[in-house]
Amino acid sequence: MMLEKGLKHESRTTVSEQNIARTMGSGDLEVFATPSMVALMENAAMTAVAEALPEGSTTVGTMMNTSHIKPSGMGQEITAAAELTEVEGRKLTFKVSAHDTEGVIGEGTHVRYIVDREKFMSKVK
C-alpha cells in the first residue's frame, strides 16, 4: 500500500435545519454546528484517500484537533478541505479546514487509521 502525501478532497454542505447547533444539541442558535463542521472535515479526509486504499480497507477517525472560529448562518455553503500531510504505516494525518462564503470558519489536524473492514466490524459488540 502506497498512500502519497498531498492527496486532497473537498466536501460541501449548506447550513440547514438539519446541521445547526440547536438541532445537533451543541448549542441553541441557528448557526452551523461544530459537530457538523467536524463531520464534514472527517468526510473530506475519508474521501481523499478512499480510492487509494487496498480492497477491503477503510479508514476510521481517531483524533480531531480543530477550532471553530466563525459562525455561519442558514443558507451558507460550507466547504471542508482535507489534505494528507503524513503517512506513518496505518496512521494518516490530515490538515483540515472549513470555509463559508465569507472565509475560514475552522481549521485543524485530523488523524485516521487504515483498518480492514471485516476485522474492525468483528470487534463491534
Question: Rounded to an integer, what distance in angstroms lies between the CA atom of residue 82 and that of residue 91?
Answer: 15
Quick one: three-class SS letters along 27-79? CCCCEECHHHHHHHHHHHHHHHHHCCCCCCEEEEEEEEEEEECCCCECCCEEE
Burial, 51: exposed, middle or buried (Cβ in 10 Å; 0-12, 13-18, 19+)? exposed
Active site residues: 34, 42, 68
Burial, 70: exposed, middle or buried (Cβ in 10 Å; 0-12, 13-18, 19+)? middle
